[in-house]
A and B are shown apart, each in its own frame.
Chain A
Amino acid sequence: MPADAILGVEGLIKRYEGLLALSGVTFSVARGEIFGVIGPNGAGKTTLFSCLVGSVQPNSGIVRFRGERIERLPNHAIVARGLVRTHQIVRPFRDMTVRENVSVGAHFGRARLRGAEAGRRVGEILEKTGLVRKAEVLAGTLTIGELKRLEIARALATGPEVLCLDEVMGGLNPSEIVDAMKLIRSIRESGVTVLMIEHHVHAVVGVSDRILVLNFGLKIAEGKPMEVVRHPEVISAYLGEEAV
């Protein structure tokens, strides 16, 4: 794993009832990068994120975060170390307000803020994610675009060093996608390393420094966005999917 890598994954394997969701994936992410993960449906992208943050235990393989092995730690312990993910299918605390949702992250993430300090941090994040006007509204009443931003806000409030975004642009309209890309860049500028899964290749090519392509649980390409999308295996994986 390179010296400047903040996250390193080696030979990660995850089996579900005989189905191989990840079959030996290896890559590393440098500090301050925006690192895209793409691949057709069922390629193992979400499983990869689940294994990284410990909500699912990999069958074998190594995950190193800031030099420490974390692949056997539970989810909350990994969040406490500064690696956090959002959910593709949003999971807000529906009976809490937007502000309360975000403050759970501030109270229990890596930052473990309390009192006025937590309040200030939550205020900043609501501002940054454009949720200020909705702060006192119950999360169950938000639109899908707002819910996606709430997922990001809640994860950001934990004070992560690496943020894994799972399809935060899915279901958004074109102008919302532009805003989301701006938001992701500004998160990186604040010093947070970003991993992002996107189903739509265009968005991820526009914003990523490097891209990893998965197909059937295998890495088929890794590198600069423009090189990766011209890779023959990547083209056939996507065309193959469209042909079905």
Chain B
Amino acid sequence: MKTRGVFAAAALVLLLAAPRFLERGTLNDIWNVAFAVILASAWNLLGGFAGQVSIGYSAFIGIGAYTTVLLSLAGWHPYATLPVSAFLSAAFSVIVGLPTFRLRGPYFTIATIGVSEAVRVVAAGVAFTGGSSGLRMPAGSFDFQRDYSAMVVLAVLVVALAAWIQASPFGQALRAIRQDIDAAEAVGVHSTKYKVLVHALSAALVALAGSLFAINFQYISPNSVFDFRLSLSIVLMPIVGGLGTVAGPVLGALLFGYLQIKLLSSPALRDSYLFLYGGMLIAVMLFEPRGLLGLYRRVRGRITRSFSRPVPDAG
């Protein structure tokens, strides 16, 4: 645990110092990966640790982004809006969670598809989102350096938080819920309370990322924050990386961050991202439901076994 803390601190220092020796393009890539790491790790708290797969997470990015833009337009300092984003998103997650968490497994997932469709429809229809023409941040609020630092710090914090939760009794309760919710209740785990709690926590973190997203891009619209590719990758990154682990979502975020860069630079690939994403999902579910991390462990296990196999006794 201690060595991991040292490692995290070193990574943070290195990332914060990066603007001194890396060029802007590379920093942009790091920003993108950090954004992806936050989304993937935060989603994994509910979807991986507690096993409640939600397809409705773009709503929380939207709440974060719109809170920040609207309050900034009302004269707030952009960073002063962050706590409000987190709070509103958590509150919305509780409103959605209380009824839908009565549902189990796939039924919960289907309800979240319904909720996300309803949010999308409403967001496109109400006036304050700026409709299809979108909203622009007030002039002078853009500072890449500052947004970069905030995103990197948040990413490292979210991963550290995930590691801490995994080792805590809270994380144990979530794992118990994922494996057998009735058995968890039977030994005293208040499953609804913990599901609502972890949903709120992960919704707040995703909203923070949405706020920083809005500050960096300066312009948002229902199409940009509820982008299908974005809401798809939130779910896919942790699944492809390794559900319910700390390293899995980070691995998935790195992979998807890299893919995102490749997709943007190659039109042929951009047109077939659904093939790519769908294909990955199918491959993971059929061959290694524990994702890349599971694959790595299996391969490592096989290699260790083949080296340590006892020599047959001649006598």
Contacts and interface: CB of A to CB of B under 8 A. Distances in A.
Given A55-B182, A94-B179, A95-B175, A154 B187 contact: yes
Interface in B287-312: none
B172, B182, B183, most chain A CB atoms within 10 A: B183
B184 A104 contact: yes
B180 interface: yes
B188 A96 contact: no
A71 interface: no
Contacts of B180: 91-93
A108 B175 contact: no
Contact of A107 (B173, B182, B185): B173
A76 B183 contact: no
A104 B178 CA distance: 13
Contacts of B182: 55, 75, 91
Interface string A139-169: 0000000000000001101100000000000
B196 to A, nearest CB: 14
A27 to B, nearest CB: 22
A95 B179 contact: yes
Secondary structure class of chain B's binding surface, majority of residues? helix
A84 B183 CA distance: 11
A172 to B, nearest CB: 21
Contacts, number: 74
Nearest to A104: B176
Given A93-B175, A104-B172, A110 B183 contact: no
Nearest to B185: A75
A228 interface: no
Counting contact residues on chain B (CB < 8 A from A), the size range is 10 to 19
B180 to A, nearest CB: 5
B188 A80 contact: yes
Counting contact residues on chain A (CB < 8 A from B), the size range is 20 to 34
Given A93-B175, A96-B175, A105 B183 contact: no
Nearest to A81: B188
Interface string A44-79: 000000000101000000000000000000111101
B188 A158 contact: yes
B186 interface: yes
Given A93-B175, A93-B176, A95-B179, A104 B189 contact: yes
B187 A79 contact: yes
A76 B179 contact: no
A137 to B, nearest CB: 16
Interface in B158-211: 169, 172-173, 175-176, 179-180, 182-191
A87 interface: yes
A23 interface: no
A109 B179 contact: no
Contacts of A109: 187-188
A103 interface: yes
A95 B169 CA distance: 16
A51 B154 CA distance: 46
23 contacts: A76-B185, A79-B186, A84-B186, A84-B187, A85-B186, A87-B183, A91-B180, A91-B182, A92-B180, A92-B183, A93-B183, A94-B179, A95-B175, A96-B172, A104-B176, A104-B184, A105-B188, A107-B173, A108-B189, A109-B187, A110-B188, A154-B187, A155-B187
Interface of B: 169, 172-173, 175-176, 179-180, 182-191
Interface of A: 53, 55, 74-77, 79-80, 84-85, 87, 91-96, 100, 103-105, 107-110, 114, 154-155, 157-158
- Report, nearest first, the 6 A-B pairs whose CB atoms are least far apart: A79-B188, A91-B183, A108-B188, A109-B188, A75-B185, A107-B169
